[in-house]
């Protein structure tokens, strides 16, 4: 039986995982021999990352493999600060009294989505959700519940390790306005009037509107896989 060739998404995930293990190891070890071995792993991870880009027939690769390695090496901390973990993004499903959801159109891509942003140091996850909604839309809101904790790489909407924490929030005031840099449009939409270019609505839409209309489901998360490295 022939084994199926890995997808570019798998190669990208393997590359990120190997690089994270090596960078974490370099952050903890003081042994020169071990540092050399970890750096060799970084070179292998860079080869995998470049292969993934080539398989996707991406535009010309901007950086050679050694540039990937140099970038990783420059972001190594010592001890616990050097332990490489996924980035954290926070999203907010905001509903109003009419059962509509608050969406923004990203200025860089034209894609519509609920307000999102990277987790900021000094804020709790729910505080980030409230802050991002206010900054991107002008709407004030209060968190109600956690809808999901999703692995962005596993879902296929991130090329690097990233977790998305998605909150259900209730609008409490404010007026619609766009962010001068991040959003080109903002508005309220019902389940049958979503913009055509809404990202990922097929998987988060039903859960979001269920929460908005008062029929929430337990928080969603990615179940463990039988074979993490091959599925």
Helices vs strands, H then E, count in the chain: 6, 8
Q: What is the pLDDT of residue 136?
A: 95
Q: What is the pLDDT of residue 79?
A: 66
Q: What is the pLDDT of residue 115?
A: 96
Q: What is the pLDDT of residue 32?
A: 84
Q: What is the pLDDT of residue 61?
A: 42
| Residue 19, token pair as written in the block | 């690089």
Q: What is the pLDDT of residue 75?
A: 64
pTM of the model: 0.69
The span from the CA of 41 to the CA of 58, in Å, is: 24
Q: What is the pLDDT of residue 214?
A: 92
Residues 6+ apart with CB under 8 A from 50: 61, 64, 65, 68
User: Residue 78 to residues 23, 30, 68, 121: CA-CA distances in angstroms?
Assistant: 10, 10, 20, 19
Q: What is the pLDDT of residue 58?
A: 45
Q: What is the pLDDT of residue 48?
A: 85
The span from the CA of 37 to the CA of 40, in Å, is: 5
User: Residue 33 to residues 76, 94, 194: CA-CA distances in angstroms?
Assistant: 17, 52, 56
Residue 52 burial by Cβ neighbours in a 10 Å radius (0-12, 13-18, 19+): buried
Mean pLDDT by 10 residues, the chain (231 residues): 68 83 83 85 84 62 51 63 81 96 93 92 92 96 95 78 93 95 94 92 92 90 75 47
- DSSP letters, 5-19, are PPPHHHHHHHHHHHH
Q: What is the pLDDT of residue 69?
A: 61
Q: What is the pLDDT of residue 82?
A: 64
- Containing 46, the helix (H) or strand (E) segment is helix 32-55
SS (H, E, C) 109-170: CCCEECCEEECCCCCCHHHHHHHHHHHHHCEEEEEEEEEEEEEHHHHCCCCCCEEEEEEEEE
| Residue 181, token pair as written in the block | 């840099």
Place of tokens 């306005």: 177
The span from the CA of 86 to the CA of 187, in Å, is: 31
Q: Mapping DSSP to helix (H, G, I), strand (E, B) and coil, where does residue 85 land?
A: coil
Residues 6+ apart with CB under 8 A from 57: none
């Amino acid at each position: 039986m022939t084994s199926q060739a890995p997808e570019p998404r798998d190669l990208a995930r393997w590359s990120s995982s190997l690089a994270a293990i090596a960078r974490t190891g370099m952050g903890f070890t003081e042994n020169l021999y071990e540092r050399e071995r970890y750096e060799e792993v970084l070179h292998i991870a860079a080869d995998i990352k470049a292969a993934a880009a080539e398989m996707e027939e991406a535009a010309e690769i901007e950086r050679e493999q050694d540039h990937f390695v140099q970038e990783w090496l420059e972001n190594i901390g010592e001890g616990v600060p050097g332990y490489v973990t996924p980035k954290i993004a926070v999203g907010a499903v905001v509903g109003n009294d009419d059962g509509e959801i608050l969406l923004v159109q990203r200025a860089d891509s034209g894609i519509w989505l609920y307000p999102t942003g990277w987790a900021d140091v000094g804020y709790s996850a729910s505080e980030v959700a409230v802050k991002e909604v206010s900054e991107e839309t002008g709407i004030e809101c209060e968190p109600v519940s956690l809808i999901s904790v999703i692995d962005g790489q596993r879902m296929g909407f991130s090329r690097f390790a990233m977790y998305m924490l998605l909150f259900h929030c209730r609008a409490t005031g404010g007026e619609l306005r766009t962010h001068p840099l991040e959003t080109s449009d903002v508005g309220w939409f019902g389940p049958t009037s979503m913009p055509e270019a809404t990202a990922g609505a097929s998987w988060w839409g039903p859960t979001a509107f269920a929460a908005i209309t008062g029929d929430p489901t337990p928080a969603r998360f990615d179940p463990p896989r039988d074979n993490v490295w091959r599925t």
